[in-house]
């Protein structure tokens, strides 16, 4: 699994081989990041900026080299200048220092001699490390279709490490991990023939977001939350992803996947797993991922009657999905989906989990909303008990926040209950705190050899099993999207699905100072 040390508190091993593992980076590590696809947008906009922030804040080993690898004939000075333009810092000297660590190797993705040349470059670089261990992090900023051939090239041509204790090799791969259960398993099988699971880091950047990192602490370090986190108190759960813009020239790419493959099967299902999982044995990566797999396996595959699909059309001002010239004519690909999931276990039986995601909607936000059951024997008979429903809301983006809606007496001489909130808004509470970008956090985890926030193969299999029947029905034309206007809340049918799941929308409540209503 790479370089780790065990606690020296006692001489005997504990019952689990996973216990007491500490992820550490050797002080004399010759660390090399190889960014494959270095000329692409992902590398320029996410990978290199994340590496720069880690470099700027002192998290990268001192013996650092970054090698860009791509098919294009690039001048190294032009590449450095282009990358520098994406680095967010006013410290020009620091940016200049960082880009000097970047070199470039041109090579094809299907030629063995190209990877042998990369291996030669790495060996030359590592021989200068004065006998220390070598760490190689391959970041595949590439289309998933080339993963098998690239990994084969790396295995055969660029995976030979120095014979020094503590040396390691890890590979970060981006989603999508297949198109359905079968293709995902085929891809996983191809990759596992080349590299063991402990060397593969399937990145889902939502697992690196601050509120997701906070989930385990909030759930399992607060005594008052645990007794309420079940079907006796929670009526329904919603996990919502909303974007106010459409495909905007990327219709060809998006049309290949659709909103379920692009957002729901991966990002939102990972959020659900952290919300619904049981308490792990430890904070070890596999103990946490074991619990995520267990809860995903308890979810029945989505049925057509438990889903609403939509596709946005023009509102007279903004274009519709089919108006995008890059979108295939007559496409039936959903740009919106709302699905109702059922978790068949003791904790969650009877609690609907609604996943909702869409493009070209009325606002930008990603949040989790747990609505509690109404108060028993309500003392305020004239009030609708549903008007005083408690809700716990975790806003992942923008403006990270956790707030709890609760009933209080309205100040004044009257004795009337109103809804207010206990509010933890990160911008107010942590004014001077830097909140890392998800890629920064996850790349650092990969350097340390911590796979907690990366997707394991069996976890991926369980996630695809939930959505594959629905995806096949869509691909076969058995389910078609309904229209909704660009800039709306989505199809009205989705609101009906959510109401049928028991969600009660509070029309009068406004969260904080926001002019927008917080109700979904």
Residues serving a catalytic function are: 267
Are the beta carbons of 210 and 400 closer than 8 angstroms? yes
What is the b/e burial string over 323-341, where b = at least 16 CB atoms within 10 angstroms of the residue's CB?
ebeebeeebbbbbbbbbbb
In terms of Cα–Cα distance, which of 333, 423, 343, 363 is closest to 241?
A: 363
Q: C-alpha angle 342/345/349, rounded to 5°? A: 50
Terminal C-alpha separation, the chain: 43
Residue 172 tokens, joined: 């970060």
Rg of the chain, C-alpha, whole Å: 25
Using CA atoms, how far apart are residues 165 and 146, in angstroms rounded to an integer? Answer: 32
C-alpha distance from residue 142 to each of 145, 164, 219 (Å)? 8, 30, 36
Using CA atoms, how far apart are residues 272 and 296, in angstroms rounded to an integer? Answer: 9
- CA 15, chain centre distance (Å): 32
Using CA atoms, how far apart are residues 283 and 217, in angstroms rounded to an integer? Answer: 10
Q: Which residue's entry shows tokens 């120095």?
A: 162
Q: What is the dihedral of CA 421, 422, 425, 431, to 10 degrees?
A: 140
Could you give the 3-state DSSP secondary structure of residue 322? Answer: helix
Using CA atoms, how far apart are residues 215 and 210, in angstroms rounded to an integer? Answer: 9
C-alpha distance from residue 107 to each of 90, 172, 175, 357, 503 (Å)? 34, 19, 23, 39, 54
Are the beta carbons of 115 and 149 closer than 8 angstroms? no
In terms of Cα–Cα distance, which of 437, 432, 444, 433 is closest to 58?
A: 444
Using CA atoms, how far apart are residues 269 and 464, in angstroms rounded to an integer? Answer: 10
């Amino acid at each position: 699994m790479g370089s780790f040390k065990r606690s020296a508190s006692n001489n005997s091993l504990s019952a689990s081989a996973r216990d007491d593992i500490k992820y550490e980076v050797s002080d004399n590590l010759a660390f090399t990041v190889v960014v494959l696809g270095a000329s692409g947008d992902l590398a320029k906009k996410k990978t290199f900026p994340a590496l720069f922030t880690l470099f700027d804040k002192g998290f990268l080993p001192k013996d650092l080299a970054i090698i860009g690898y791509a098919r294009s004939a690039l001048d190294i000075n032009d590449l450095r200048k282009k990358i520098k333009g994406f680095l967010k810092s006013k410290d020009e000297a620091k940016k200049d220092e960082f880009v000097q660590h970047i070199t470039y190797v041109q090579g094809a993705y299907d030629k063995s001699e190209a990877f042998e040349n990369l291996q030669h470059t790495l060996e030359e670089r590592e021989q200068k490390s004065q006998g220390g261990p070598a760490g190689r992090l391959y970041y595949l900023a590439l289309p998933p279709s080339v993963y098998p051939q690239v990994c084969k090239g790396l295995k055969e041509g660029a995976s030979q490490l120095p014979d020094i204790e503590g040396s390691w090799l890890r590979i970060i791969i981006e989603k999508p991990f297949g198109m359905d259960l079968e293709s995902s398993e085929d891809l996983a099988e191809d990759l596992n023939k080349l590299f063991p699971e402990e060397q593969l880091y399937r990145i889902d950047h939502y697992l690196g977001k601050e509120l997701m990192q906070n989930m385990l602490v909030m759930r399992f370090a607060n005594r008052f939350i645990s007794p309420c986190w079940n079907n006796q108190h929670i009526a329904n759960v919603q996990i919502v992803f909303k974007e106010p813009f459409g495909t905007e020239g990327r219709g060809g790419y998006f049309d290949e996947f659709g909103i379920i493959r692009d957002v729901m099967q991966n990002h939102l299902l990972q959020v659900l797993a952290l919300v619904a999982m049981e308490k792990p044995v430890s904070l070890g990566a596999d103990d946490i991922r074991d619990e995520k797999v267990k809860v995903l396996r308890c979810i029945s595959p989505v049925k057509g009657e438990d889903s609403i699909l939509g596709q946005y059309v023009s509102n007279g001002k903004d274009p519709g999905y089919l108006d995008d010239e890059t979108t295939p004519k007559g496409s039936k690909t959903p740009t919106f989906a709302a699905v109702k999931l059922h978790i068949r276990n003791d904790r969650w039986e009877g609690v609907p989990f609604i996943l909702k995601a869409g493009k070209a909607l009325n606002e930008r936000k990603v949040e989790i909303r747990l609505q509690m059951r109404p108060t028993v024997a309500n003392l305020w008979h004239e009030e609708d008990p549903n008007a005083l429903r408690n809700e716990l809301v975790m806003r992942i983006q923008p403006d990270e926040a956790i707030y709890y809606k609760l009933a209080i007496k309205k100040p004044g001489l009257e004795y009337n209950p109103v809804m207010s909130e206990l509010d933890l808004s990160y911008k107010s509470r942590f004014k001077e705190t830097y909140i890392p970008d998800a890629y920064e956090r996850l790349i650092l985890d990969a350097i340390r050899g911590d796979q907690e926030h990366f997707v394991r193969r069996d976890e991926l299999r369980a996630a695809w099993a939930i959505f594959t029947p629905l995806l096949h029905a869509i691909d076969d034309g058995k389910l078609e999207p309904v229209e909704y206007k660009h800039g709306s809340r989505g199809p009205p049918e989705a609101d009906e699905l959510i109401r049928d799941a028991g969600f009660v929308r509070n029309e009068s409540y406004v969260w904080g100072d926001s002019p927008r209503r917080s109700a979904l």
